[in-house]
């Protein structure tokens, strides 16, 4: 199989803290459950543990069924847990897309499927010229949107949907994550999102769920290879 024909998706969120890592890990486990060798990637990660690695990236590695070197999974590990372009500047570094694209290509050659987790929302700056939407375009992947169910999520989800469409990328599906147990009228908000997001709802994640709990109930999006750019 040509590497471009192998399934891969770019996971983004309506904001930071919406559960991208949880959903990405659940997708990896769901793929593995179907005997699909899958690997996760966190191209840019802000905030490192004492061992100099990012916790989100380590969770993706643990959920992957392909053993990949950490530098391929996380080409840009940044020490401070702040906006990535600011963290990189403080370290005297510049986040560039070609090394990420090259690392993704190597991961895709190693596995049957790749789950790429973005950083923050869909338009987080990476350097002075580009943001995470440019990264998704450079990788040429369908997008999975994680919607954190909390006050304001409808506006954030619809703006994210518009931004994804404006980039010419398909929205392969979305996941609703109940991140705020005190949210008022969650079902009404979920219904409004269903009516307005033009993509399949892949699943609803309950509060406090683990990837292992979510994986069996998460629908995998259909894979349609993006057209050549």
Separation between Cα atoms, residue 35 and residue 153, nearest integer Å: 34
Q: Give the pLDDT confidence of 57-77 residue by residue, as tens digits.
A: 999 999 999 999 999 999 999
**Hey, CA dihedral for 212, 200, 171, 220, is it positive or negative?**
positive
pLDDT (mean) for 7-18:
96
pTM for the full predicted model: 0.95
Options 6, 34, 42, 58, the catalytic residue: 42
- The pLDDT assigned to 99 comes to 98
| Beta strand segments in the chain, E | 8-13, 38-41, 44-46, 76-78, 113-117, 143-148, 171-177, 201-205
Q: For this structure, is 6 an active site residue?
A: no
User: Which conformational region is residue 19 in: left (phi greater than 0), alpha (psi within -120 to 50 degrees), or beta?
Assistant: left
Confidence category of residue 2, pLDDT binned at 50, 70, 90: low
Specify whether the CB–CB gap between 167 and 150 falls below 8 A.
no
Q: Which of 226, 186, 219, 214 is nearest to 21 (CA)?
A: 214
Q: Give the pLDDT confidence of 187-219 residue by residue, as tens digits.
A: 999 999 999 999 999 999 999 999 999 999 899
Alpha helices in 34-122 (DSSP H): 55-63, 70-73, 84-90, 97-110
Q: Give the pLDDT confidence of 61-119 residue by residue, as tens digits.
A: 999 999 999 999 999 999 999 999 999 999 999 999 999 999 999 999 999 999 999 99
């Amino acid at each position: 199989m040509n590497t471009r024909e192998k399934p891969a998706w770019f996971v983004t969120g309506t904001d930071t803290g919406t559960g991208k890592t949880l959903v990405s890990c659940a997708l990896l486990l769901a793929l593995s459950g179907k005997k699909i060798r899958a690997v996760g990637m966190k191209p840019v990660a802000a905030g490192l543990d004492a061992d100099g690695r990012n916790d989100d990236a380590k969770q993706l590695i643990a959920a992957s069924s392909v053993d990949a070197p950490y530098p391929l999974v996380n080409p840009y590990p940044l020490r401070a847990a702040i906006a990535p372009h600011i963290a990189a500047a403080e370290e005297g570094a510049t986040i560039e897309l070609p090394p990420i694209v090259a690392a993704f290509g190597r991961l895709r050659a190693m596995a049957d499927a790749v789950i790429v987790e973005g950083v923050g929302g869909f338009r987080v700056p990476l350097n002075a010229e580009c943001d995470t939407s440019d990264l998704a375009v450079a990788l040429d992947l369908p997008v999975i949107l994680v919607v954190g169910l909390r006050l304001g999520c409808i506006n954030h989800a619809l703006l994210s949907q518009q931004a994804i469409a404006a980039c010419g990328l398909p929205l392969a599906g979305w996941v609703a994550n109940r991140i705020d147990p005190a949210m008022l009228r969650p079902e009404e908000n979920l219904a409004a999102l269903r009516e307005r997001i033009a993509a399949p709802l892949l699943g609803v994640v309950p509060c406090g769920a683990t990837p292992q709990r979510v994986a069996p109930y998460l629908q995998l999006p259909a894979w349609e290879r993006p057209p050549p750019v």
